[in-house]
Amino acid sequence: MRLNQNTLLLGKKVVLVPYTSEHVPSRYHEWMKSEELQRLTASEPLTLEQEYAMQCSWQEDADKCTFIVLDAEKWQAQPGATEESCMVGDVNLFLTDLEDLTLGEIEVMIAEPSCRGKGLGTEAVLAMLSYGLTKFEAKIGQGNEPSIRMFQKLHFEQVATSSVFQEVTLRLTVSESEHQWLLEQTSHVEEKPYRDGSAEPC
């Protein structure tokens, strides 16, 4: 996550901020106790200490790019609002094939039920698709129809199904026309320095 540790992305619906240790004990740890979210994200429940360890490893990992998703409307409407009070989910991009550095796997989670179906996940994913890679994959549980439909609207195509893992793999290859489309979709996203420009050490 070193790539984005000092970066804030400001969109119309979401604000993306680096995942720091401050986010762990608040909503993030509570979210991941949810059996529904564990099922949708194929995650195992972790203790608070394990969550801290994972956040630290992600922060130091050069192959991962993780942002916490904030509700932009709430964040901008309340001066002085804490990030924790505006958190709605997270979005991740990571390299899965060290022999192909143009390929990244992307994940998004809108954990707050009241914020789903409003385009926050879509804008968060679009912001990540502008990170310069040319091939993206998303692995989604077969029962997660809303997420599958969202990625398909973003021009991802289903390329594989795993009955063992009960998931589908969707892929997007960024052609020149796709690149232009992505630029149009993300032209409003502003990149700003995050806080004082220094992430806290683990």
For the chain, 202 residues long, the average pLDDT of each consecutive 10-residue run is 78 94 75 74 73 71 87 90 92 90 94 94 96 92 93 98 94 96 95 68 54
Q: C-alpha angle 38/39/44, rounded to 5°?
A: 40
| DSSP structural state of residue 201 | P
CATH annotation of 7-191: 3.40.630.30
Going from the C-alpha of 181 to that of each of 141, 153, 185, the distances in angstroms are 27, 12, 6
The pLDDT value given to residue 39: 73
Give domain limits for the chain: 7-191
List of residues 6+ apart from 6 with CB closer than 8 A: 18, 193, 194, 195, 197, 198, 199
pTM: 0.87
d(CA 131, CA 64): 12
